C-alpha cells in the first residue's frame, strides 16, 4: 500500500520529535525534583540555629585594669581582651609598619578613641595553638605581647607577628562597644 507508506514516511520524523517531548519533559521534571532535594540535605550541615545564636558574645571589660588582659570564649575559641598601658601603645606605634611581616598599625587594629583596648583571637596564626601572655605571670615573649610555646612565634604589644613561623597577626574579630564597659564581639 504505497499511499500508507508515504504517509508513514512523512509523519515519521516530526512524529518522533513530538513523541520525545513528553519523555524529555518527564525526565526534566524528575531531574529538577532530584536537584531540589539535594539542597536541604546539604544545608543541614550548615551551623544550626543554636550554634548561630552563640555566634555573638558580650564581654564586660569594666574590671580589666591597664596592663591586664582576660581570656574568654568567642565561638568556642579563646579571645584575648587586653587593656594596653600608654607605654605599650607607644612601643607599638614606634615600630615602622613596612618592617612588619603583616603590616598593620595599632590604630588599624583597634577602634577609634579606644586604642587602649586590644581585642584579638587567642589562636596562633601558624598552626592554631593558644599563645601565652594573657594571664598574670605568663611569658609574653621578646616583644612584650604574646608568645606561642609551640613553635616560638612572638607577637608584640599590638599582637602583631614579629618573630617565628606565624604568617599573620592575631586575628581581630568583628566587635563593637555597646557602652564604655561592654563590648559585643561577633
Find the binder of another protein among 3, 46, 62, 65 (CB under 8 A). 46
- All 3 cell numbers of residue 43? 544545608
Of these residues, 47, 151, 171, 179, which one is catalytic? 151
63 lines the binding site for another protein (CB under 8 A)? no
Contact residues for 68 (Cβ-Cβ < 8 A; gap 6+):
82, 83, 136
Find the binder of another protein among 8, 16, 30, 127 (CB under 8 A). 30
Whether the Cβ atoms of residue 129 and residue 150 lie closer than 8 Å to each other: yes
* 56 vs 139 by CB, closer to another protein: 56
Listed ranges 16-24, 107-115, 136-144, 172-180: which one lies at the site for another protein (CB under 8 A): 16-24
Whether the Cβ atoms of residue 149 and residue 129 lie closer than 8 Å to each other: yes
Q: What is the dihedral of CA 40, 46, 47, 50, to 10 degrees?
A: 0
Q: What is the dihedral of CA 153, 71, 59, 158, to 10 degrees?
A: -30
Listed ranges 32-40, 83-91, 162-170, 178-186: which one lies at the site for another protein (CB under 8 A): 32-40
83 counts as catalytic: no
Contact set with another protein (CB under 8 A): 19, 22-23, 25-27, 29-30, 33, 36, 40-41, 43-46, 48-51, 53-54, 58
Amino acid at each position: 500500500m504505497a499511499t500508507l507508506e508515504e504517509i508513514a514516511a512523512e509523519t515519521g520524523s516530526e512524529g518522533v520529535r513530538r513523541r520525545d517531548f513528553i519523555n524529555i519533559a518527564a525526565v526534566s521534571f524528575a531531574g529538577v525534583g532530584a536537584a531540589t532535594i539535594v539542597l536541604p540535605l546539604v544545608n543541614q550541615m550548615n551551623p544550626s540555629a543554636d550554634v548561630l545564636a552563640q555566634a555573638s558574645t558580650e564581654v564586660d571589660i569594666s574590671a580589666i585594669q591597664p596592663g591586664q588582659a582576660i581570656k574568654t570564649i568567642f565561638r568556642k575559641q579563646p579571645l584575648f581582651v587586653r587593656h594596653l598601658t600608654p607605654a605599650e601603645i607607644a612601643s607599638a606605634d614606634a615600630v615602622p609598619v613596612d618592617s612588619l611581616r603583616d603590616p598593620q598599625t595599632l590604630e588599624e587594629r583597634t577602634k577609634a578613641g579606644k586604642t587602649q583596648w586590644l581585642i584579638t583571637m587567642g589562636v596562633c596564626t601558624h598552626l592554631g595553638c593558644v599563645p601565652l601572655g594573657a594571664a598574670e605571670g605568663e611569658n609574653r615573649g621578646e616583644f612584650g605581647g604574646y608568645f606561642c610555646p609551640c613553635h616560638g612565634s612572638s607577637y608584640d604589644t599590638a599582637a602583631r607577628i614579629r618573630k617565628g613561623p606565624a604568617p599573620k597577626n592575631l586575628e581581630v574579630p568583628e566587635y563593637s562597644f555597646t557602652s564604655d564597659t561592654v563590648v559585643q564581639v561577633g
